[in-house]
Amino acid sequence: MPTHLDPDWTIRPFRRGDAPEVRRLIESVWCEHFQDHPDPFVRDFIYSRLSDVDNADSVYADRALFLCAIAEGAIVGTGAIKRFDDRECEMVRMFVAPVYRGRGIARTIADRLVSFAGNAGYDRIRLASNNALTASHRLYERMGFQLTAAWDAGGEVHSRHYVLKLIAS
């Protein structure tokens, strides 16, 4: 029987063929939070913005990393670092299936992504998180991410924007 020190899940890099299962996870988590949202922009946001998952081999090839949490043979969590420019990257695709929350999956993925970003030579990690995802905000803030101004015009309407400055090693 797994203990807290011996989790019943593992983390591995995204593999060719993972896209359909990753899309299902992301879409289901989005639907859980936003299917009844009054604004169709928010409700339908994710469905038109998953081309990076479908093309992960190329999108996450250059100083980037896409991780999947696996439990019972299924993808139950995701997270990625995507190159923005030579000094800055973006943490994206942080999703965990509801039944697997509270087990440290998101924190483990995020820690590995921050470590990767530092080792890849980035100075900063940015991320945007929908205003409704307060548990995610608590995680990012515990990790040292600081609120910052939106980088997309109007982005503050639906999302909180964070930045983490990385210490050179």
> Fold for domain 10-165?
Aminopeptidase (3.40.630)
The H or E element spanning position 56 is helix 56-59
SS (HEC) of 94-138: EEECHHHCCCCHHHHHHHHHHHHHHHCCCCEEEEEEECCCHHHHH
What are the tokens at 8? Answer: 């019943």
Give the predicted TM-score (pTM) of the model.
Answer: 0.91
Residue spans per domain, the chain: 10-165
Q: What is the pLDDT of residues 97-121, one digit of tens each?
A: 999 999 999 999 999 999 999 999 9
- Start-to-end Cα distance in the chain: 38
Q: What is the pLDDT of residues 141-169, one digit of tens each?
A: 999 999 999 987 766 678 999 999 998 65
Burial of 69 per CB tally in 10 Å (0-12, 13-18, 19+): buried
